[in-house]
Amino acid sequence: MKGRKLLMIPGPIEFEPEVLSTLGKPTTSHVAPDFIESFGASLEMMRKVWQSPSGQPFIVGGTGTLAMDMAGSNLIEHGDEALVVSSGYFGERFADILKRYGAKVDVLKHEVGKAVTPAEIEAALKAKKYKLLTFTHVDTSTSVKLDPKPIGELGKKYNVLTILDGVCSVAGEEIQQEEWGIDVVLTASQKAVGVPPGLALLVASPKAMDVFKNRKTPVGNYYADWNNWLNIMQAYEARKPSYFGTPPVNLVSALEVSLKIILNEGIDKRIARHHKIASAFRAAMKALNLHIIPENDSVAANTLSAIYYPKEVAAADLLREINLAGIIVAGGLLKDLATAYFRVGHMGSVNASDILGTIGAIEAALKKCNYTFEPSAGIIAAQKVLLG
Ligand code: PMP
């Protein structure tokens, strides 16, 4: 029996072999010509993946939370009004970050599983003048997805900076940053971008960079301060050596490999693959009479799914049995519902076999837990979507 289990959590994910083998190469100097080339090429490719030809990309050692911290610390000044559109745990985190930098924060949210609508956001923007709004494209705690396009348009209409937490969406869900007028799109390496944890990635619009440059007060975070990083990004892109903090050399080299894989697949094809695999998984859950957290498929993510345990099944038992069947999935993340649901990641390199294997393991685990269902119903429903 294979010793290795398939990692189907919403990040870190299964990485491509070329990405992993790049990590194992001898670490070079952060000012070596071939590394400068890797860094510069990665910045250029980020603009393509983010679809932001005029944006300023940043690659910094850290996690997705650092990328959120960068957006917050560089764009907020004490007393600024900010609106956080939340669909779960990571929306709440953004509110905490913005408050830390002195923002007055209003949070717009609904009960778990329901997405805030553009009309509700517009009403909030009409009622009060905000400097910026943040929203989570896919909240990884609930698998609820928002549509960034109308939110970007509202940002332009009301002259509010729009910050998209794309940690669980960039390179897995459609984002046209520039066309849709989103000012910051941020993510982390370990999700659909396909590189092990350790890189904070973001692209800022010219408007966001102007707001940053016109700050009246210093940035309240030394490491995250774009004044320290902008020159570094510009130098690498101009293929010149520079230094502020030692970059995670191997991770950046792996990022170059992964971004090439993403662009070779083609953004549109990649998004369509995520959509098909997610639709197949949701069809399987429906066929097994399991319910997902998002109130309907139009607000359900393509990068992960959050599924309620059936009432008659104990959370720990089901997770253990899925694991024994060779698949690693994640438990719940929302504090009040942590034992009520589990999460399955399906992003990045994920393919049809991975998702069918996962559904097979869920069926095997449900059977072990004495849940009543039609054996293979999930597999059949998923295969219909995958072959359709
Ligand atoms: N935002 C979202 C939507 C996320 O899914 C995560 C990580 N799960 C984060 C932010 C924070 O990223 P990290 O764990 O890399 O700090």
In this structure, the residue with its CA closest to atom 6 of ligand 1 is 167
pLDDT of amino acid 184: 99
Q: Look at the block and give the residue holding tokens 């597999």.
A: 379
Q: In the chain, where does the domain assigned CATH 3.40.640.10 lie?
A: 17-265
Is 88 near ligand 1, meaning CB less than 6 Å away?
Answer: no
Q: Which amino acid is at 64?
A: G
Is 140 near ligand 1, meaning CB less than 6 Å away?
Answer: yes
Q: How many helices and strands, by DSSP H and E, does the chain display?
A: 14, 14
Closest ligand 1 atom to residue 200 Cα is: 15
Q: In the chain, where does the domain assigned CATH 3.90.1150.10 lie?
A: 6-11+267-387
How many angstroms separate the alpha carbon of residue 51 from the centre of ligand 1? 21
Is 136 near ligand 1, meaning CB less than 6 Å away?
Answer: yes
**Domain 17-265 carries which CATH code?**
3.40.640.10
What beta strand segments (E) does 74-165 contain?
A: 81-85, 104-108, 132-136, 138-139, 144-145, 161-165
Rounded Cα–Cα distance for residues 362 and 366 (Å): 6
pLDDT of amino acid 1: 65
Rounded Cα–Cα distance for residues 29 and 105 (Å): 43
Q: Which residues of the chain have pLDDT under 50?
A: none
Closest ligand 1 atom to residue 169 Cα is: 3
How many angstroms separate the alpha carbon of residue 25 from the centre of ligand 1? 27
Span 160-196, pLDDT tens digits: 999 999 999 999 999 999 999 999 999 999 999 999 9
How many angstroms separate the alpha carbon of residue 287 from the centre of ligand 1? 30
What element of type H or E holds 184? strand 184-188
Is 186 near ligand 1, meaning CB less than 6 Å away?
Answer: no
In this structure, the residue with its CA closest to atom 2 of ligand 1 is 167
Closest Cα to residue 72, out of 52, 100, 46, 92?
100
pLDDT of amino acid 192: 98
Span 208-229, pLDDT tens digits: 999 999 999 999 999 999 999 9
What CATH number does domain 6-11+267-387 carry, 3.30.70.141, 3.40.50.300, 3.30.750.210, 3.90.1150.10? 3.90.1150.10
Instruction: Select from 13, 66, 90 the residue to mutate for testing ligand 1; criterion: most ligand atoms less than 8 Å from CB.
Output: 90
Rounded Cα–Cα distance for residues 336 and 243 (Å): 44
